[in-house]
Amino acid sequence: MFDKRYLQDFDWGFLGLVLLLCFIGLVTIYSTVTASALAPGKTLYYRQVIWFCAGLFLMLAVLFINYRSLEQGAFVIYGICIVLLVWVYFYGKYAGGSRRWLQMGALTLQPSELVKIGLIISLARYYSKLGSARGVTLKELIVPLVLITIPFLLIVKQPDLGTAMILVLIAGSMTVFVKIERRTLIYAVASCVVTVPLVWFFLKEYQKQRILTFINPDRDPLGAGYHIIQSKIAIGSGMITGKGFLKGTQNKLSFLPEQHTDFIFSVLAEEWGFLGSGVLIVCFLVLIAWALNIAYGCRDTFGTILSVGITAMIFWQATINMGMVMGLMPVVGVPLPFISYGGSSIITMMIGVGILLNISMRKNI
């Protein structure tokens, strides 16, 4: 039953890179949660270690299931994710202005993270069945549109604009990758141009404000705009070598919002300087390129599209998060893969890594 080629083709380098990133993440989280008396404290750090171990375990578990069998189970997985999201809608835990979490004993789960995997698998299944070089037609686009709209609306309602946007970007990347028919593309763009102002017209004033602030954080100098200034000060003040581990002043004085989740890159850049943050960016670049290479090496359509989907997930989250904290992009609540604090985020990422390793080690079987 066990094939020697599994071990031969196993991507040790890729796994090593992921573990390195996770290690950097844990070290930085340690700094953020223990920086001052106000910081959340070591409990959070230990919790993250446990989540990381759970993620590692799930990653290994995923390796034992042939990824090709995911194709059959695609819509079941998707369905479970949607059920969880609906559950959140009714019984979710409310915290910090939104309803995103399911309380399970001492742990909280964020189904909007897991739904990314569900969406990627089901889209991969759908697109791999089409398989033609002419591109997706308008009619063929209906199913993906439905697949994306359901979780999108549920997540926007929470509200969690960042995660909703990531879902759209992942689905969009996969669709563009399998190619859209030119005519369809024109239709799609044209209908967007028409509907966006229409939707805008129906939005309530506070919703418009939220979107405008999202696009331009300077509109909100007391909230997002202030956070970006502080984040830029933190990153910039790191200079070449940084202020040293546990010595970041912006971090220590809680000047950064969400310093252990969304703004964790700022803390890393403040404490480790250009050298440290540069290494991190390079790590991400290599990791994503490696993931694309796995897609490249895969010899069936489902596997290729699946790995592209997961790569897109890592890519968009990493670039948007880093772009945001450096003041290049809208302020969105997107965690930095493998680095940010958050159980659901790390588990989702590790499952994604498991699938990629899975595809990679079965490329010759």
Which positions lie near another protein, rule CB under 8 A? 36-38, 94-95, 97, 131, 133, 177, 179, 221-222, 225-226, 229-230, 232-240, 249-250, 253-255, 269-270, 273-274, 277-278, 281, 284-285, 288-289, 292, 295-296, 298-301, 304, 308, 311, 315, 319, 322-323, 326-328, 365
Which lies closer to another protein via its Cβ, residue 45 or residue 127?
127
Measured on CA atoms in the order 265, 97, 158, 220, is the torsion positive or negative? negative
Which lies closer to another protein via its Cβ, residue 112 or residue 304?
304
Q: How far is the CB of 80 from another protein (least distance, A)?
A: 27
Q: How far is the CB of 235 from another protein (least distance, A)?
A: 5
Question: 214 CB contacts (<8 Å, ≥6 apart)?
Answer: 161, 224, 330, 331, 332
Instruction: Tell me the one-letter amino acid at 48.
Output: Q
Q: How far is the CB of 229 from another protein (least distance, A)?
A: 6
Which lies closer to another protein via its Cβ, residue 82 or residue 298?
298
Q: How far is the CB of 250 from another protein (least distance, A)?
A: 6
With CA atoms as reference, report the closest residue to 177 among 131, 243, 215: 131
Residue 262 to residue 331: CA distance in whole angstroms: 10
Q: How far is the CB of 63 from another protein (least distance, A)?
A: 18
Which lies closer to another protein via its Cβ, residue 18 or residue 228?
228
Count CA atoms closer than 13 A to 32's CA, side-chain side: 30
| Residue 217 DSSP code | G
User: Please, what's the largest Cα pairwise distance for the chain?
Assistant: 62
Which lies closer to another protein via its Cβ, residue 122 or residue 250?
250
Q: Which residue has the tokens 């299931």?
A: 65
Q: How far is the CB of 97 from another protein (least distance, A)?
A: 6
| Residue 140 DSSP code | G
For the record, the structure tokens of 130 come out as 């089409």
Strand partners, 102: 109
Residue 78 to residue 147: CA distance in whole angstroms: 9
Strands 107-109 and 93-95: unpaired
Which lies closer to another protein via its Cβ, residue 116 or residue 227?
227
